[in-house]
């Protein structure tokens, strides 16, 4: 079971009663009392359990997935398009109270940037929305920008949408590209991991897609020092994990838990490969060569701490803005925004 305070217990009455007692006594001692009326209990894999009996001593309502926590959807399964419908409904509710006839294009642009765009950012920081959801939000933003409260027709669009959502120094109108900005926001998870601010971020289920991880690998320069991350499961080779480069070799490795330093020391990762494994094939040999080549230029500096540099910022530190603008490299650069 899991509660909104992110506590968990086994599905038995003793544990649930103990948690309720701990929360009550903690509130009495510190003054931070739990509002059980605003708390919830979510059973997970409790088939065959008498929940009425187990939860009778816990004065909180019973809930189920998907649910909201700090305004974000939580689910034990993949979120569907319908789960993001409230995000679209929120944008529609704003449009119904705006009278586009009384607002000029500058005002419409400001409302699109400051309201319709910004209200989606919080959700997109942590969750990967379907492309169809982003497209529907874009349609709402485009419609209000060029037609206000009227029906949008092609003749009313002064600038096509792909150009509208470019930065102004790239010839656009400076309206955020939701997909690219969401990717830039989520890259911070990877940056925090390399800065040592978290360990859970190595989890491959993080909302960072392959494109985002490749961008991160391209945009960073990493020096491995006294790193104790896992050799096989950490993305330390140009943003890739060794187990992704050589999945078959990973399967027949006799030690999958070595750190980077242990694996690289005297090429110990090679000695861990079970060459006599019954599944050994030419594919294993090819992957072994690929991994060897990828590791050949890596130098460890055990006398130093790990170092990571973000290439798109002068101080070498990650910023969401620089990650966003990096995705427009190659677009035509103009100074029209400064001249006008």
Task: Kindly report, residue by residue over 213-253, the tens digit of the pLDDT.
Answer: 888 888 887 777 766 677 887 777 876 788 889 999 999 99
pLDDT of residue 66: 81
pLDDT of residue 7: 54
Q: Which residues of 304-325 are buried (b: 16+ CB within 10 A; e: fewer)?
A: eebebebebeeeeebebebbbb
Q: Which carries the bigger pLDDT value, residue 111 or residue 235?
A: 111
One domain, residues 175 and 101: yes
Which structural domain, as residue segments, surrounds residue 123? Answer: 81-180
Name every residue whose Cβ is closer than 8 Å to that of residue 340 and which is 6 or more positions away in sequence. Answer: none
Q: What is the mean pLDDT of residues 183-200?
A: 75
Answer whether residue 134 is part of any domain: yes
Answer whether residue 280 is part of any domain: no
Q: What is the mean pLDDT of residues 58-69?
A: 82
Q: How confident is the model at residue 5 (pLDDT cuts 50, 70, 90)?
A: very low
pLDDT of residue 180: 92
Answer whether residue 113 is part of any domain: yes
One domain, residues 40 and 89: no
Residue ending a domain, among 155, 180, 205, is 180
Answer whether residue 164 is part of any domain: yes
How far the first Cα of the chain sits from its last, in Å, is 59
Q: What is the mean pLDDT of residues 85-114?
A: 83
One domain, residues 86 and 155: yes
pLDDT of residue 206: 61
Residue ending a domain, among 180, 206, 233, is 180
One domain, residues 49 and 18: yes
Answer whether residue 69 is part of any domain: no
Answer whether residue 213 is part of any domain: no
Burial class (CB in 10 A: 0-12, 13-18, 19+), 137: buried
Task: Kindly report, residue by residue over 317-339, the tens digit of the pLDDT.
Answer: 999 999 999 999 887 777 777 77
Q: What is the mean pLDDT of residues 197-204?
A: 46
pLDDT of residue 321: 92
Give yes or no for residue 67 having a pLDDT over 80: yes
Give yes or no for residue 202 having a pLDDT over 50: no
One domain, residues 96 and 173: yes
DSSP per residue over 156-225, as a string?
Answer: G-SS-HHHHTS-GGGTS-----HHHHHHHHHHHHHHHHHTTS-SGGG-TTSS--HHHHHHHHHHEEEE-S
Count of the separate structural domains present in the chain:
2
Residue ending a domain, among 180, 202, 221, is 180
Answer whether residue 41 is part of any domain: yes
């Amino acid at each position: 079971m899991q509660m909104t305070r992110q506590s968990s217990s086994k599905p038995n009455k003793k544990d649930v009663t103990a948690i309720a007692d701990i929360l009550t006594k903690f509130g009495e001692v510190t003054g931070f009392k739990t509002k059980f009326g605003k708390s919830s209990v979510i059973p997970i894999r409790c088939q065959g359990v008498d929940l009425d009996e187990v939860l009778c001593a816990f004065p909180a309502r019973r809930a189920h997935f998907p649910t909201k926590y700090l305004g974000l959807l939580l689910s034990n399964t993949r979120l569907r398009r319908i789960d993001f419908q409230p995000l679209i409904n929120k944008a529609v509710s704003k449009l119904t109270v705006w009278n586009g006839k009384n607002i000029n294009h500058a005002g419409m642009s400001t409302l699109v940037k400051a309201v319709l765009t910004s209200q989606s950012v919080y959700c997109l920081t942590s969750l990967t929305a379907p492309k169809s959801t982003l497209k529907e939000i874009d349609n709402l933003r485009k419609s209000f920008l060029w037609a206000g409260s009227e029906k949008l027709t092609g003749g009313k669009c002064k600038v096509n949408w792909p150009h509208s959502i470019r930065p102004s120094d790239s010839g656009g109108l400076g309206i955020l590209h939701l997909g690219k900005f969401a990717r830039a926001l989520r890259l911070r998870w990877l940056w925090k991991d390399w800065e040592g601010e978290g360990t859970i971020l190595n989890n491959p289920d993080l909302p960072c897609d392959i494109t985002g991880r490749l961008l991160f690998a391209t945009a960073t320069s990493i020096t491995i020092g006294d790193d104790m991350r896992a050799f096989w499961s950490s993305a330390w080779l140009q943003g890739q994990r060794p187990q992704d480069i050589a999945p078959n070799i990973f399967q027949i490795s006799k030690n999958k838990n070595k750190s980077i330093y242990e694996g690289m020391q005297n090429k110990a990762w090679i000695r861990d490969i079970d060459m006599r494994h019954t599944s050994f094939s030419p594919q294993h040999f090819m992957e072994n060569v690929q991994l060897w080549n990828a590791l050949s230029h890596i130098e460890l500096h055990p006398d130093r701490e790990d170092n990571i540099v973000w290439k798109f910022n002068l101080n070498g530190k990650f910023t969401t803005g620089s990650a966003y603008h990096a995705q427009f490299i190659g677009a035509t650069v103009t100074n029209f925004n400064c001249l006008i």
